[in-house]
């Protein structure tokens, strides 16, 4: 946790955190903060700054909240991500958020098991918790927007043009693909398939919508590793 985030309505001249609040646990047990210490804070959707620890005990209180900095600029990358296994989803969402991606579209694909769509990990409260973890890691405050698309065809045929707009459209694919471009100046829409990749028909549908197939080296990467490597390359 590189920043402690609050809802706007929690911010007051002094903030009291209940002992069970994970932020209180962080301040007390991880930072081992003492009265008078400064901690980095931010408002979800707003500014960053710092606050002074007033009291650490069974509860924690902060005072002198100063919000004097803007969050880092968003990364101009829109992600179209085939729904990963529930076990992997949390890590991927937190990781992608930490990289600064603000638009995440989770989509279906032939190789996504139907049961994944019933996972409680897709509930808004869980997705929000993972995004917050990513923001707290990165030192950011702006939550990404996450949209779920249950049907691949509907997304690609009816919605993808509105989502991708004028951005450079790329789909990560291990075969018949060019090397991923470096340091792209403008916005990018990046599609990443499930384990095992998009099937040929899906790649063709995406190509028909002006997505270029790209890869990063000759190796097949896990979704998490691929997203970070591609974003590192493109951004």
Footprint of its own copies on this chain (CB under 8 A)? 2, 72-73, 75, 95, 98-100, 137-140, 182-183, 216-222, 224-226, 228-233, 235
DSSP labels for 135-193? HHHHT---PPEEEEES-HHHIIIIIHHHHHTTSEEEEE-SSS-EEPPSS-SS-EEEEE-
CB of 65 to its own copies, least distance (A): 21
The residues near 232 (Cβ < 8 Å, ≥ 6 apart) are: none
Q: What Å distances lie between residue 216 and 10, 47, 220, CA to CA?
A: 44, 35, 9
CB of 139 to its own copies, least distance (A): 5
Nearer to its own copies, 16 or 233 (CB): 233
CB of 58 to its own copies, least distance (A): 26
Cα–Cα dist 128/122, whole Å? 10
Buried-exposed string 55-67: b where 16+ CB fall within 10 A, e elsewhere: ebeeebbbeebeb
CB of 225 to its own copies, least distance (A): 5
Give the end-to-end CA distance of the chain in Å, rounded to a whole number: 24
Residues 143 and 131: beta-carbon distance below 8 Å? yes
CB of 202 to its own copies, least distance (A): 19
In 3D space, the residue among 195, 10, 190 whose CA is nearest the CA of residue 84 turns out to be 195
Nearer to its own copies, 63 or 224 (CB): 224
Residues 78 and 187: beta-carbon distance below 8 Å? yes
Nearer to its own copies, 79 or 155 (CB): 79
Cα–Cα dist 103/108, whole Å? 17
Nearer to its own copies, 209 or 233 (CB): 233
CB of 3 to its own copies, least distance (A): 9
Nearer to its own copies, 148 or 229 (CB): 229
> Can you give the length of the chain in residues?
235
Nearer to its own copies, 136 or 205 (CB): 136
CB of 181 to its own copies, least distance (A): 10
Nearer to its own copies, 155 or 171 (CB): 171
């Amino acid at each position: 946790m590189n920043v402690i985030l609050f809802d706007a309505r929690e911010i007051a001249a002094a903030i009291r955190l209940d002992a069970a609040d994970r932020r209180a646990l962080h301040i007390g047990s991880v930072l081992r903060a003492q009265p008078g210490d400064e901690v980095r804070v931010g408002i979800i959707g707003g500014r960053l700054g710092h606050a002074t620890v007033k009291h650490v005990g069974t509860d924690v209180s902060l005072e002198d909240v100063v919000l004097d900095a803007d969050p880092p600029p968003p990364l101009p990358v829109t992600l179209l991500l085939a729904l990963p296994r529930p076990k992997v989803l949390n890590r991927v969402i937190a990781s992608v958020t930490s990289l600064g991606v603000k638009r995440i579209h989770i989509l279906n694909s032939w190789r996504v098991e139907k049961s994944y769509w019933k996972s409680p990990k897709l509930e808004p409260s869980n997705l929000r918790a993972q995004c917050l973890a990513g923001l707290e890691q990165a030192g950011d405050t702006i939550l990404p927007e996450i949209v779920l698309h249950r049907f691949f065809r509907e997304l690609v045929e009816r919605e993808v043009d509105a989502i991708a707009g004028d951005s450079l459209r790329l789909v990560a694919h291990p075969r018949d693909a060019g090397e991923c471009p470096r340091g792209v100046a403008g916005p990018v829409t990046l599609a990443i398939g499930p384990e095992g990749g998009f099937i040929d028909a899906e790649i063709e549908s995406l190509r028909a919508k002006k997505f270029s197939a790209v890869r990063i080296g000759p190796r097949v990467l896990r979704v998490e590793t691929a997203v970070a490597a591609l974003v590192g390359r493109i951004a």
